[in-house]
Amino acid sequence: MPRLCKPAMNAPEHVITVEETLEFAARAHAGKPQLGLALRLIRNTGVKKRHIVQPIEKTLHHPGLEERNRIYEVESKKRTPRVIEEALAHAELKARDIDAIIYVSCTGFLMPSLTAWLINHMGFRSDTRQIPIAQLGCAAGGAAINRAHDFCMAHPASNVLIVSCELCSPCYQPDADDIGSLLSDGLCGDAVAAAVVRGEGCVGIELERNASYLIPGTEEWFSYAVKDTGFHFQLDRRVPGTMEPLAPVLREPAKDHSWDVGKLDFYIVHAGGPRILDDLARFLEVDREVFRHSWSTLHEFGNIASAVVLEAARGLFEEDALAPGATGLSAGVGPGITAERALGSGAAEGVPQTFA
């Protein structure tokens, strides 16, 4: 069965603390009617610091969509190779061993996809399949793991590289003063992450089954408005309440697999923010501590979109808590409202086990 190997992650060198965020927000949006509420929400996110690709002074300046997308291209090409090399090393593979690259990002646009540049510059074979995913937002990390699982099931013994490049800070809109935008400005950070799903071999999480679900009638709740100035984040006030209808959906794959979702050994979850993580713990009837790797990612890096699931999984590997046979759940939630979930278990090299 396919296995998720230990991920790699890198956060940019420029750091902004929550105290600095509050100071910049108060100055940049002084007099805005929603500012007071936004500052209170930012304080309650639990984010201690975030990493960004440019100094904050440049981040707060909007040079136009063309220049911002150029920054995205330059920074993505600068930052992905090192993380990919580390992920390949964790999987004990070389670039030529990879059969498909799944590239996920919702914070910039390139055509051809960055996958073409990676193939040309990093030694991947010319027949490597390219699978870019651009519009699943925060759910894309979970979707990438699931599509890699599907690919390896369809093509036994294949190896799939997952790359997540989320540069949220260049999407900052100085003139946006709605609550969704202001909260996003204080919550989201930049990061690049990568992982390999091997068709066979490697110590990791054996992928057992996966599923997708879209809450009907919610496609406008969480979205981008694309304007002359770029991407404008739109967040409906009803989004934090989505864990109640999603909790039964997360239970279904585990129940079908004869597992109890409230009694698993590990949970790798990206649900957006503190309110949603707390609600998910309540509706799944688990202690909030089971999401410790998601909480840690939020505290140390903010919401890094599709990279959260990979970074949370990396935390699980680093903790050395992935015992053979340990059962777990992976879940990512994003625009749609879309939920990507999977089941799996810890696996020692050469010893078939399972993952959720």
Give 75's DSSP letter.
H
In the prediction, which pLDDT does 42 show?
87
The dihedral of CA 247, 251, 253, 256: what is its sign? negative
Q: How many CB atoms within 10 Å of residue 68?
A: 21
DSSP type of residue 241: G
pLDDT of residue 354: 37
pLDDT at 351: 42
Q: Pairing state of beta strands 159-166 and 266-270?
A: unpaired
Percentage of the chain modeled with pLDDT above 70 = 97
Burial class (CB in 10 A: 0-12, 13-18, 19+), 11: buried
CA angle 180, 294, 168 (to 5 degrees): 40
Give CA–CA dist 167/188, Å, rounded.
9
352 pLDDT more than 50: no
pLDDT at 353 over 70: no
Query: What single letter denotes the amino acid at residue 70?
Result: R
Instruction: Determine how β-strand 100-104 pairs with β-strand 129-133.
Output: parallel
Where does 19-158 show beta strands of DSSP type E?
A: 49-52, 100-104, 129-133
pTM for the whole structure: 0.93
pLDDT in the model for residue 227: 87
Structural domains in the chain? 3-201 (3.40.47.10), 205-347 (3.40.47.10)
Per-residue pLDDT tens over the stretch 54-103: 999 899 889 999 999 999 999 999 999 999 999 999 999 999 999 999 99
Residue 355 binned pLDDT confidence (cut-offs 50, 70, 90): very low
Going 295 to 296 to 302 to 303, the CA torsion angle's sign is negative
End-to-end CA distance of the chain: 13
Which sequence positions are flagged as catalytic? 138
The span from the CA of 126 to the CA of 122, in Å, is 11
- Write the DSSP symbol of residue 189: -
- 107-157 pLDDT tens trace: 999 999 999 999 999 999 999 999 999 999 999 999 999 999 999 999 999
Beta-carbon contacts of residue 196 (< 8 Å; ≥ 6 apart) = 4, 5, 87, 88, 90, 91, 93, 98, 159, 160, 161, 162, 202
CB burial readout 294-333, b (16+ within 10 A) else e: bbebbebbbbbbbbbbbbbbbbbbeeeebeeebbbbbbbb
| pLDDT, mean of residues 162-177 | 90
Tokens standing for residue 126: 């010319």
**Measured distance CA(28)–CA(25) in Å, rounded:** 5
Q: Work out the angle at residue 71's Cα, subtended by the Cα atoms of residues 67 and 76, and round it to the nearest 5 degrees.
A: 150
- Total Cβ atoms within 10 A of residue 272: 26
